Amino acid sequence: MINEIWINITSIVLAAFALMVILMCIALTLSWIHDIRKDWINAKNSDTTKYHMDLYLSGINVWCHGEFPQVSFTVRHLRDALNNKIGHSDSMFREQLRSGDYKNNPWEKKMNILYDMLDHGTDGNIPKLIVIHAMGEFIDDGKNIKSARDFLDAYGLSAHVLCKPDGDLIQCRSEDQVAWHARGHNQNSLGIEILVEGNHNYNTFLKAIKKTNWPTDNQMISTAAQVREWMHVHNIGIDKVVRHSDLSPDRKVDPGSGFNWVKFKKMLEN
């Protein structure tokens, strides 16, 4: 009788210990996943141009230092998967477009995505509008000459993407974040700034964007590719792709009369 009681007690203790081990494993796994997501969000929202991200889920190490050539699609796909923002088909679209393999991308250009995040904006963006802007690659404000990114930062502004003269794209805000780029239209929109090559004050900038076909070929291709991606992923119609000057004609003139809007719109249709 005593042996049976002892066996029952032992069985209960062992079962309780096994349950405790299982619960500890579950807790550790959840904590691990939380840490991965937290590290990724912190890296994604970093306002520095140099950071190291250990992507534990895929076992990939990515070293990001200033203007590196290409962030692999795997990184963006993992970010989108963690944020649960887009489905598999949309993820594949991004991969194909950025590798130059997408069948409806007539330019066969690989999209080079750089990251230099800006803090100015809020969360909770649900894109329904895409706004095309222009600004100087480097801006002389009368006191200092700043890069476009640093100029936006200094004045508390932002855009989702900047397009350099060589066609490289700099992401400054994620698509699920609001950017301060178009007064009165920041909520539920995406903004891309096409950078006018060289140093500019406001007067030289106004003259530059009046020159016929002022954007470089690489800028036209990369901007169209980025906009096409946004249109596809967020189900935005071509009629919702507008110029900054369309939204605020009394205040804004960018991207200027030298930007071939008809040609650009046709590039979005192909």
Tokens of residue 183, six digits: 């007064």
Choose between 30 and 234: higher pLDDT. Answer: 234
Cis amide bond preceding 249, omega within 30: no
Residues 147-191 have pLDDT tens digits of 999 999 999 999 999 999 999 999 999 999 999 999 999 999 999
The pairing of strands 113-115 and 60-65 is unpaired
CA neighbours within 13 Å on the CB side: how many for 44?
21
pLDDT of residue 156: 97
Task: Answer yes or no: is pLDDT of 2 > 70.
Answer: no
Alpha-carbon distance 160 to 228, whole Å? 15
Sheet strands (E) in 92-149: 113-115, 129-140, 145-147
* pTM attached to this predicted model: 0.65
Q: What is the mean pLDDT of residues 45-71?
A: 32
Q: How far is CA 38 from CA 41, 50, 52, 79, 116, in A?
A: 5, 18, 14, 11, 19
Question: 73-77, 110-114, 204-208, 256-260 — which is least confidently predicted?
Answer: 73-77
Residues 76-123 have pLDDT tens digits of 433 443 343 333 344 554 555 555 444 444 444 556 889 999 999 999
